[in-house]
Amino acid sequence: MADRLAGKRIAFLLANSGVEEVELVRPWEALQAEGAETVLVAPEVGTVQAFEGDTDEAGTYEATLAVADADPATFDGLVLPGGTTNPDTLRLHAPAVELVRAMT
């Protein structure tokens, strides 16, 4: 394992339902492999349902931080995984939009 990102904290911003699984898992694993701490952030703490191709349920993941409780100053980066549904859902969630704005 490389440690190029050791000490860095990266937020993954997810809708509680609708993230494309591969677009979550691949970057998440890559950042962790480089030593980053990754935090799954969603509108609600709890289960995040991932999908394959926007329609087929895939794995579930655990969001440990609610968007409303996320302090942008405590993160070094933000990942907004794709798929159609994840960003489309989050653009309608005011706290998620505020978090993205605060980190850009």
Work out the average pLDDT over 87-104.
96
Every domain of the chain and the residues it spans = 9-102
Could you write out the DSSP letters of every residue in 53-95? TTTEEEEEEEE-EEGGG--GGG-SEEE---SSHHHHHHTT-HH
User: Does 1 score more than 80 pLDDT?
Assistant: no
Work out the average pLDDT over 3-24.
97
CB burial of residue 99 (10 Å; 0-12, 13-18, 19+): buried
> According to the model, what pLDDT value does residue 48 have?
98
Fold of 9-102: Rossmann fold (3.40.50)
Q: Which residue has the higher pLDDT, 52 or 1?
A: 52
